[in-house]
Structure 1
């Protein structure tokens, strides 16, 4: 059973990353108000910060608890699912990512004319798409608290040059109901990956001082604290005054 729909304190907020290269606007989903989050995301593909990492695909990951939905409004977007690349353009139907599927999103390097058999006139300047997710009663899930903190952490790595910390990533991902994919040849790879995410990201990470959310990055800090208070490994981070923040 999904949670009751409450007024979203993030509605209308604009979250920027990569010095404006990625802009995310929090909206009400135009077709389904039951979605736990809905964003209009713009990738400015020729922005220096975005162009610098264009050849690097984000990590494969999966969400055990929620369906995720993608609808391209402008340009095109690649969605890799279980090793197969799907190139989406305006006019395509909403693309659904099922729970547990290994996937990632990125700007495609594939020529869309080859894939679709026609030229859609896209100039490569930007891609705009709707990203939304299914509601769930799970303690940790994809929502704006997660995305706000994840974008901010990526900025530390991409813009400020901080070395990526895998435990910090796993801590944030676990709190966002997400887990880094393992090679599919590993038996029960998804179950193992989820277990590692919980053990390393939540249990070990919590003991070592890795927190999933940070007051300096979070608009609704009270909500972040309520989420962390639901885990014995994160309760000590739920400081509503923000004193003694650890990690990133």
Structure 2
């Protein structure tokens, strides 16, 4: 990650309730991204959204890695919740696995929970892959910015916008487990609705005002004929 233009950059969300610091992984410097993420569990914005779990999703092409440094983090994989602690070491989320991770604020009253816990700090990193549409800092920067619009400004969640962003990050919203071939269908829906239909309707996965490395965002959008028109490298922001 020595060539990462984001190295040392900090992404702040929920008015400082969540901070994501871009680092070089101390043990695996070849990973495509590595972040030290901090949840302030008693921050009012984090408490306010604690009951809303993030969307269940999957990554077809990347392994994702989680290592808790301080506090606790809940990881749900294929419907099973686990609470990760620093002594657990690194947890691997395999490709095509339905999963999500979230702050344990809503879990404080459960058995063994510590009501005085104020911080969860963990390293989140991802496998390097040649796929152009993958999890990386361009995706996370825009995804956090979009969540801020929803949480802080009360904007209604737009499913097509979410699917557009997730597809550009090599991620797809999970379907109920009883649906046959659900993982494949989830990916197809993400491409058709998020990338193709979304692109035709004017949904772009990345926005200039939210993106530090706009050049990388443009390269990703140029992969799709439906999104190429959004890859405007002009220095001025669109109206």
TM-score tier by shorter-chain length is over 0.9
Tell me which of 166, 177, 182 is aligned to 1:184. Answer: 177
2:99 corresponds to which residue? Answer: 103
Q: Measure the CA separation in 1 of the matches of 2:91 and 2:222.
A: 34
CA RMSD, Structure 1 to Structure 2 (Å): 1.8
Structure 1 counterpart SS, 2:87: coil
TM-superposition CA deviations, 1:136-195 (whole Å, max 9, x none) = 111200000000000000000001111110000000000000000000100000000100
TM-score (norm 1): 0.91
1:56 corresponds to which residue? Answer: 52
1:165 corresponds to which residue? Answer: 158
Listed as ranges, the matches of 1:148-159 within 5 Å are 148-159=141-152
Tell me which of 24, 29, 36 is aligned to 1:33. Answer: 29
Shift of 1:203: 0.2
1:47 corresponds to which residue? Answer: 43
Q: Is the 8 A contact 1:214 1:245 kept in 2?
A: no
Q: Measure the CA separation in 1 of the matches of 2:33 and 2:151.
A: 25
1:131 corresponds to which residue? Answer: 124
Structure 2 counterpart SS, 1:8: coil
5+ residue gaps, structure 1, are: none
Tell me which of 64, 69, 79 is aligned to 2:65. Answer: 69
Q: Measure the CA separation in 2 of the matches of 1:135 and 1:25.
A: 19
Report whether the alignment pairs 1:222 with 2:218. Answer: no
Tell me which of 17, 20, 27 is aligned to 2:13. Answer: 17
Shift of 1:244: 7.4
Q: Measure the CA separation in 1 of the matches of 2:21 and 2:62.
A: 21
Query: Number of paired residues?
Result: 238
Structure 1 counterpart SS, 2:203: coil
5+ residue gaps, structure 2, are: none
Structure 2 counterpart SS, 1:202: helix
